[in-house]
Structure 1
Amino acid sequence: MLNFDVDRFVRIQSDALAVEPRLKEVVTDLVNGGAENLFFLGAGGVMFLTQPAFQLLQAKSLFPVYYEMGAELVERGNPRLGERSIVVTPSLSGTTKEAIAALEYAKKAGATIITFTGHADTPLAEMADHNFTTFAEDDTSSEMFYLETLLVALALMNARGEYDAYDETVAELKQLPALLVDVKASFEDRAAALAEEIKDEDYHLITGAGSTWPEAHYYGMCILEEMQWIRTRPVHASDFFHGALELLEDGVSIIILNGEDESRGLVDRVIEFAPRFTEKVRILDTKDFELPGISQATRSLISPVLLATVFERLSAHLEVLRDHPLTTRRYYKKLVY
């Protein structure tokens, strides 16, 4: 596979899943100790990676859960954030200034803070009551944060008696690192072909629903826009028919992400519609990826993980074909803003 270190990838994802015993203990103690709500709180695109866990808790648990953009929370507040709140914040660098300000705000409110970082000895690691540092870099962090925040949701529901298959699900998740390598390998030829196909295109609609929507938003904003300077229009599949459909015509590219949760039908509707008006329809469907030994119940939880892992292959080819390294920036962390 192009520019890919198998051992490094497996090690990083295995280390991410290895936080499970301590994370389960922390979450269980907080729930049993009287926690009343949970906030996913942070800044930037990494927050999108917490949305599948947030959605899972919204749909399957009666425990109050909130999703807050850190900068906005600091400006307007939230009366539900307090001493019986759990705050979960991911940050690869551990230094994002908006996330630091948000955690300072949460600490003043008395919340218990859990952070997931890619580096220790950083402000966000040190501010936490419970920090889980797993070394990662941009090309491996999406899967890592998806999995770690999923473990938070599963542990919380398990502690409340709302999820009976915790042990079975965790056992299956721990098989994923090696299986994801196989998924990448199976997608490599398609990634190369797709990169060649889109390398000169400067605009894409990108859509998904349920747990695939956060990955559509993330890949459009944080990879294609930030790292490749390609304009995108991320739009939720259920909103597609309230505006974005009018942009479809010959030559317009649409990238459609389909997963295996209850929202699949919303994406199917776009898949049926789009080819009537543009020939540039690119569909990534997690059902196409083989995962031996992984149950359908677990597959329904990890659609964004699968999409992130194959998108990394597309990105690896794009940066070579476009002679535009993924690390190149003009403004991001280059200027004061």
Structure 2
Amino acid sequence: MLGFNEAQVREQLTSAVALRPQIEELVDQLLDRGIDNVLLVGSGGTYAQAWPYEYLARRFSKLPIRAVISRELIESGDAWLGESTLAVFMSVSGTTEDVLLAIDYVKSKGATTVSFTGVPESPIAQKVDHTLTSAPKTWPFDPQLLLLVGRIMNVRGEFPGYESLADELAGLADAVIDAAKAAEPQASAFAEAHKDTDYHFLIGGGPLWGFTYLYSMCILEEMQWLRTTRVNSAEFFHGSLELLEEDTSVIVFQGEDETRPLTDRAETFAKRISKNVTVFDTRNYELKGFSPENRGLIAPIVLDAVMGRVSKHLERVRDHSLDLRRYYRVMDY
């Protein structure tokens, strides 16, 4: 498989899931101390990765759990931020400037800070109160966030399915690697068909809205310099649909949660207009060991692996490195 390091993927996902005992112990301690709100603080892709867990908490918990943009938090503040706040930070490199500034800011307000990173000696890891370290370059952070938010709700009596979910996550690496392998033909075919496509319209909803935003912005725009429109499937009929034309490339991310009918509705309409609709659906992957109620919860992780195959093939056919930047970390701003 093109550019696929199975051993590395396995190590990263396994190490993330292996944090379960540490996460559970920390959550229990913090709730005992009176933590009554949680800020999931990120920047770019890490901010987008927090959205599914804010969404999950909105469905089940009365505890305020919010995803926030690091730099915006510094400028705007947050009414909940204080000594009873748990602020959670994610960074692959552990060096993201806006995140570092946000750690200083929330600590000045008395918040307890936690980081997820694969670099224990990094500035972010050194600044926070509690660092939970996985394998180097671990991505995505969804397993850690799923365990963290799931445990918080479980202890509060709001998420009885947590134990089965956490147990099933032990098989996450195998399920995700198998999905990536199964996706290879579709990924290669999509890239070949879209070698010269310069605009994509992306649709996703519920727990997959964050990934839709991430793939549109961080991959297609940042890493491939392509123009995109992204829309939540629940909001599909308010504005962006007017951009659809017969040849518009539409990418649909479909999961197995309660919002699936909304994405089905958007897909059905898109296919009435465009002859160029591609659907990436987690139902197409075995995900061995995961029960129906938990398949929807791991959908962002699965599609991250699936679309990772698409990204590698786009890099190949377009001869455009995924590491190439014009401005990000190249120019000061």
State the TM-score bracket (shorter-chain normalisation).
over 0.9
Kindly tell me the number of residue pairs found equivalent between the two proteins: 333
Counterpart in the other structure of 1:53: 53
Q: 1:51-200 alignment to 2 at 5 Å?
A: 51-137=51-137, 141-142=139-140, 145-200=141-196
- Taking the TM superposition and a 5 Å limit, the aligned residue runs for 1:194-213 are 194-213=190-209
Contact 1:32 1:159 in 2 (8 A): no
Matched, 1:291 2:278: no
Inter-partner Cα distance in structure 2 for 1:229 and 1:111: 38
Cα-to-partner distance string for 1:146-199 (whole Å, 9 max, x where unaligned): 111111111101211222232221110110101211111111111110110112
Q: Given that residues 205 and 234 in structure 2 are in contact (C-alpha distance below 8 angstroms), is that contact kept between their aligned partners in structure 1?
A: yes
Q: Which residue of 1 aligns with 2:234?
A: 238
Deviation, structure 1 residue 41:
1.2
1:280 aligns with 2:276: yes
CA offset digits 1:216-261 (Å, max 9, x no partner): 1000100111111111111111222111111111111111111111
Letter in 2 for 1:313: R
Query: Aligned equivalents of 1:162 and 1:79: distance in 2?
Result: 24
The worse-fitting range, judged by mean Cα deviation, of 157-166 and 186-195 is 157-166
In 1: Cα distance, 2:191 partner to 2:230 partner: 19
User: 1:98-136 CA deviation, whole Å, 9 max, x = no partner?
Assistant: 111111110000000111113121121111111112234
1:215 aligns with 2:221: no
Taking the aligned partners of 1:162 and 1:29, their CA distance within structure 2 comes to: 18
Q: Is the 8 A contact 1:227 1:328 kept in 2?
A: yes
User: C-alpha displacement at 1:329, in angstroms?
Assistant: 0.9
DSSP-derived class of the 1:83 partner: coil
- Structure 2 distance, partners of 1:193, 1:42, is 33
Q: Where does residue 44 of structure 1 map in the other structure?
A: 44
Q: CA deviation at 1:3?
A: 1.5
How far apart are the structure 2 equivalents of 1:203 and 1:27? 43
Contact 2:202 2:229 survives alignment (8 Å): yes
1:317 aligns with 2:324: no
What secondary structure sits across from 2:230 in the alignment?
strand
Aligned to 1:16: 16
Name the CA distance, whole Å, in 2 between partners of 1:165 and 1:285. 24
Quick check: 1:42–1:102 contact (8 Å CA) kept in 2?
Answer: no
Q: What is the aligned counterpart of 1:304 among 297, 300, 304? A: 300
Shift of 1:4: 1.1
What is the DSSP-based 3-state SS (H/G/I as helix, E as strand, rest coil) of the residue aligned with 1:324? coil
SS at match of 1:211: helix
SS in 2 for 1:88: strand
Kindly provide the amino acid, as one letter, of the partner of residue 39 in structure 1.
L
Which ranges in structure 2 are unaligned for 5 or more consecutive residues?
A: none
Question: In the alignment, is residue 34 of structure 1 matched against residue 30 of structure 2?
Answer: no
Query: In structure 1, what is the Cα distance between the partners aligned to 2:180 and 2:225?
Result: 24
Task: Summarize the Cα distance change of 1:308–1:278 in structure 2 as closer, same or farther, 3 Å threshold.
Answer: same
- Matched position secondary structure for 1:175: helix
Aligned to 1:331: 327
Whether the aligned pair in 1 keeps the contact of 2:11 and 2:135 (CA below 8 Å) is: no
Cα RMSD, aligned residues only: 1.1
TM-score, L = length of structure 2: 0.97
Aligned-partner residue type, residue 141 of structure 1: W
- Of 164-173 and 151-160, deviating more is 164-173
Check whether the contact 1:258–1:285 (CA below 8 A) recurs between aligned residues. yes
